Amino acid sequence: MKEIEAYHINYKIDVENLTFSGTEIIKGKADGNIWLNAVDMDIPGMKVNGKEVSFKIEKDKELVSVDGEYNGEFTLELEFRGKISDGMNGIYYSKEEGFYFISTQFESTGARYAFPCVDHPAYKAVFKLTLDIPADYDAISNMPAESIRDQKERKVIDFRETPRMSTYLLYIGTAKYDTIHVTHDGKPVYLAGAKGKFKMSELPIQMANETLDFYENYFAIKYQLPKLHLIAVPEFAFGAMENWGAITFREIELMVDESTSSAILKRVDEVISHELAHQWFGDLVTMKWWDDLWLNESFATFMSYKALEHKHPDWEIMSEFVTDETERGMTGDSLRNTHPIHVDVKNPDEISQIFDEISYSKGGSILRMIEAYVGKEHFRNGVRNYLKDNSFSNAVGENLWNSIEKVSNMPVSKIMNSWITMPGYPLVTVTNGKDSLHLSQERFFMDGSPDQSIWPIPLTIVYEDRVEPILMDKAELDIKKDKFLYINLERTGFYRILYDDETFQNIRKNSDKIDKFAKLGLISDSYAFLMSGKGNIDQLIDIMNLFMEEEDYILRDEIVGIILQLHNILIKPEKINDFGKEYLRRHLEKLGDKKEGEPINISVIRGRMQSVLALIDPIFAKDFAHNFADLERINPDSRQAVAYAYAISQNDLDGLIAKFNSLKSDEDKIKIIAATGYLKGNEKLESVWKLIESGKIKKQDSFRFISSASLNFNNRPYIADNMERFITAIDKFFAGTGYTSRFLETMIPYVGLSEEKKVDAFIGKHKRSDWDNGIKKGLEYLNIYKKVNNE
């Protein structure tokens, strides 16, 4: 198939039988054959250029091929019909009060479950959609409606033709909605959700408006569509999806009210900013194939933080980028079972498994490193030229590097080609010499293995009176020693630093001269060295004690995360728990109660500290649980800690479920679900699972119960005994999304610490390519955690 020019789709949705049917006219150009992707649908017949044709369906390849040879322009006409899924891929439904909420999730290969198409990102086309729906339903698609025709008990909506775009960006939705809107540059920006379910707040669409302003200025290209929808979907596998002009979100990501915590409020703004970045980077300009998926996702990740930095300078959001994105990317990329940023993708199973911390977090961090290397203006101008040159088309990563290199006159392509094609990242070792410091590089593995790979590393050497940038593109390098402070200004570089003892003691002596990013680096790298066997827990606690009194948000956040992670990993966690109790109690006393108008980061870190202290300190949990009766009325930032405290100290399933049923906020309900994983007794845990099976707990939230129970040492045997049942359910709920693989990756290391034989037995029974990556990574983490426990 050479290209597809247009799809004209007449689509009928039957909500009584939960089926769809339609007719389709596809115009394109053939270069030998005509084929489409289609899964689980009936196609009664086809015509090519007005003549009936025969065709074959290859289910295992998800292909429909027209018999015969075709070249040049063609018009393909066909009928199709199928079932609306109860999963969360393709076209699917959720049951609401008095109606069905029907939505679509087409990335990466879900469009072929809803209509026959060439489901490939490079085959961009225009879409002319007509929807036939019940008269009392409404519909949303990428473009505004241009006409609505009433037909007795049904209505037919004709939508305006889209610009050229990929199939995975098409959106088809019908339900009964509540909708509010504001305008942006004369274009409506809507917030839509299930009717009667929420008190609608304008805050998310105001956030979107401000972000659109930022992106239009940054990219020097206006938002291209005549409207924008933000749609809250009741059951949704992911956080959000960037369908052009009709972005879908989990309800928790949009439905903000007085019960919304500060952490979720920040996340709502970040997720909206991420998806809006895709309206340029992904939608306007799309990767040619999924091996460049990272270009879409890493750029949206990085740009969302830049938008928040512009909108909320008081949030210090680039600090959070380092603790959240860079640290996550470094953790995943220190495994043997990592992959390069640019991955050779051959089939749909492989596509779903690269939506991970490498494509998002590492990729975003490498973009931040390149921006720091070339300068912010050169980076922005290169991005602007790239978008202008490739609008409404497809591109590859090389196009972007060449664009940035052209405006900066710096070796961007040389650097990026290494960083995106090589898995892993470097460890730079600093050794003190008589007149200089000796640097050497090797690959860092969390299992401690040696590897002599070499990267071109944009180093920043920080001295007391200057900063010296150096491109280290060889194994060893000597730098000036006089007035040296540390390496990696603002932690823009994607590498770790191992200082020898003499150099570290000099840094320690000058700790009042180093900034928060350098302190963060010392803490984070020390934790990584504990995992890899290059350090020990006493050294880590010593470094955290060095910064015991520091009040910077990112230092508190990093230390709190390490306390919780080691509490979950260590079979004998007394040493880290003792440090954690002292640290958390001291800082919570400093923070005091929530104050009106306090910085949002203070509210966030207080809530997180309370939650971790509830998990590691039974005395605190017993005392804090008394707030449970008034959960809806207390500070939203403290509610997770209260729910944990109540579950741990009271072990009251009935009380938790009664509270769950009385809550209206999705966020608060999720906090109760997470807390149920800390109940004691298999009967209580089984009762929670039955609520998931019955649908009283949303399918999308099922993993929260299993995850928290897996983290709880006492409940790991229950999870191990029921892995077959739980994973089967997760695989059904999230079919086609790659979610099961990621879930196995997070569950295996913790459950395996207690029940390794049962985990191995489960894995031995299941040889599936779409689970393979998650299982391998999970087992690698398990082996690392076992080694840490044995030291």
The CA R_g of the chain, rounded to the nearest whole Å, is: 27
For the chain, give percent helix, strand, coil, nearest 5.
50, 25, 30
26 CB-near residues (< 8 Å, 6+ apart): 4, 6, 7, 8, 36, 75, 76, 77, 78, 117
**Torsion (CA) 715, 718, 724, 730 in degrees, nearest 10:** -40
By C-alpha distance, which of 576, 503, 582, 516 is closest to 548? Answer: 582
Return the half-sphere exposure (C-beta side, CA atoms, 13 A cut-off) of residue 634.
Answer: 18
Report the distance separating Cα 195 and Cα 357, nearest Å: 35
**Torsion (CA) 364, 366, 368, 371 in degrees, nearest 10:** -130
How far is the CA of 220 from the CAs of 215, 223, 474, 668, in angstroms? 8, 10, 38, 40
By C-alpha distance, which of 15, 26, 24, 133 is closest to 84? Answer: 15
Return the half-sphere exposure (C-beta side, CA atoms, 13 A cut-off) of residue 15.
Answer: 25
The DSSP output letter for 260 is -
How far is the CA of 129 from the CAs of 50, 141, 144, 170, 692, in angstroms? 21, 8, 11, 10, 36
689 CB-near residues (< 8 Å, 6+ apart): 705, 722, 726
By C-alpha distance, which of 85, 276, 99, 274 is closest to 193? Answer: 99
Residue 551 catalytic? no
Say which of 77, 270, 275, 745 is annotated catalytic: 275
- 581, exposed or middle or buried, with CB in 10 Å at 0-12, 13-18, 19+? middle
* DSSP state string for 482-548: TTEEEESGGG-SS-EEEE-HHHHHHHHHTGGGS-HHHHHHHHHHHHHHHHHTSS-HHHHHHHHHHTT
By C-alpha distance, which of 71, 77, 173 is closest to 116? Answer: 77
User: Catalytic amino acids?
Assistant: 275
